[in-house]
Structure 1
Amino acid sequence: MFVSPAYAQAAGAPGGALGSFIPLILIFAIMYFLMIRPQQQKIKQHRAMVDALRKGDQIVTSGGIIGKVTKVGSDNEIEVEIATGVKVRVVQHTVQTVLNKTEPAKSAKAEKTVKK
């Protein structure tokens, strides 16, 4: 009366536990290639841009300030001239873009080799 018939359970799908983890592994792989890896490359490019800053570069900070680099400090700070005679210190990593890149100064030795 109160006893329901017992049904046999399936013996398990082929692949077992590994088969159930394959979709999770595929989702992680897709997330890595579509989201994580591009973000890491963007950070690497920004770090290279910030490390290549030099005196005379015209920059835009993440706050929207446009100025010219007058001094690159060793404590991750740069000095930016935003108007004639107005200089501010800015953290290097707040530089968003470099508008005008200055050419590296040629050394006297390099000029001698070019003239020969």
Structure 2
Amino acid sequence: MGQIQQFLPFLLMFVVIYFFMIRPQQKRAKNEKEFENGLKVGDKIITKSGIHGKIAELADTTVIIETMAGKLKMERSSISLELSATLSKKA
């Protein structure tokens, strides 16, 4: 019984860390992966660096976006889920 009481605070800390840090991060990563897989040609997006554009072509891990300055080839992971979602809500 004494050993269980010694390890109870550590176990409790692990549970708290899991539910407040690890689990939300896993959920966010899953949502971003679904967003990346759901992209299609013609979607208006904003990259994490703030570039606005429209998807012109899709490849396995890259995307070509059409901007006012021309076409840019970028990784799919560089597209911001949050910024693109707010852009689509405004439209």
Q: Place the TM-score, normalised by the shorter chain, in its bin.
A: 0.7 to 0.9
In the other structure, the counterpart of 1:6 is none
SS in 2 for 1:100: helix
In the other structure, the counterpart of 1:81 is 66
- State the structure with more CA Rg: 1
Q: Aligned-pair RMSD on alpha carbons?
A: 1.5
In structure 2, C-alpha distance between the alignment counterparts of 1:100 and 1:87, rounded to whole Å: 21
* Bigger share in helix: 2
Q: TM-score, normalised to structure 2's length?
A: 0.86
In structure 2, C-alpha distance between the alignment counterparts of 1:40 and 1:31, rounded to whole Å: 13
Alignment of 1:8-87 (within 5 A): 15-74=1-60, 76-83=61-68, 86-87=70-71
In structure 1, C-alpha distance between the alignment counterparts of 2:36 and 2:45, rounded to whole Å: 10
In structure 2, C-alpha distance between the alignment counterparts of 1:52 and 1:72, rounded to whole Å: 11
In structure 2, C-alpha distance between the alignment counterparts of 1:43 and 1:77, rounded to whole Å: 18
Question: Which structure has the higher relative contact order (CA within 8 Å, separation 6+)?
Answer: 2
Q: TM-score, normalised to structure 1's length?
A: 0.69
The alpha-carbon deviation at position 100 of structure 1 amounts to 3.4
Could you list the structure 1 runs, at least 4 aligned residues long, displaced by more than 2 angstroms after superposition.
97-101
Count matched residues: 85
The alpha-carbon deviation at position 59 of structure 1 amounts to 0.4
Percent identity between the aligned chains? 32
Structure 1: segments with no counterpart, 5+ residues: 1-14, 102-116
Structure 2: segments with no counterpart, 5+ residues: none
